[in-house]
Amino acid sequence: MQVGLVEPEFALRKFIIERDDWRKIFIVGRELGLPEEVEKDILRKWYYYYRIQEMIGDKNSAHRATSAEKIFRHTLSKCNPEICLALFDQSPSRMSRTRKVNVRKRLRAVDNVIETLVKSGVKCKALEVAKQLPKESEMPPCNKYTVFSRKHKGYRKALHKVPKFTKVTMRTPPPGF
């Protein structure tokens, strides 16, 4: 893709949309008030992502990386601080049906492991604590898909916004929540 005399923001937007990365785009406008250095830093991270793909050796990503290099040199040299396209790792505000199904599967799998260990006769303190946790079928939906957070509105935070939520057990909220 040739940049030519096209505006850098438009060229970058077209390049990203052509590559099906439309989910990773957001427009930094006056209302957000991000400094120009922050915008450029986000753009650079996106650029390095494609450079790493080029080093791995995929032919298509190598072509993308060379195109990205031209666009980024042009964009970073003439970045408009009022409107600038950037890469931003976004996560959806609500959990999709498939994510909720996977959460329930994980909870049931943990329940099955606990039951198996209890039947086998193993005794340890961690197992005693795990036995006291509610099972997936006993949990209300708000405890399955959200966790307590004192910083968030309503004191609830979506489960998929918690780092490593698939590895940590968060079945019981504090009393009163």
Q: Would you write out the chain's pLDDT as a tens digit for each of its 177 residues?
A: 444 443 445 445 444 544 444 334 444 333 455 566 666 666 666 666 655 555 555 555 545 545 555 555 555 455 544 444 444 456 788 899 999 999 999 999 999 999 999 999 999 999 999 999 999 999 999 999 999 999 998 899 999 988 888 888 888 888 887
Alpha helices (H) along the chain: 8-18, 36-56, 59-77, 97-120, 125-132, 141-145
Q: What is the largest CA-CA distance in the chain?
A: 74
**Token pair 């968060």 is at which residue?**
170
For the full predicted model, state whether its pTM sits above 0.85.
no
**Token pair 């795990």 is at which residue?**
130
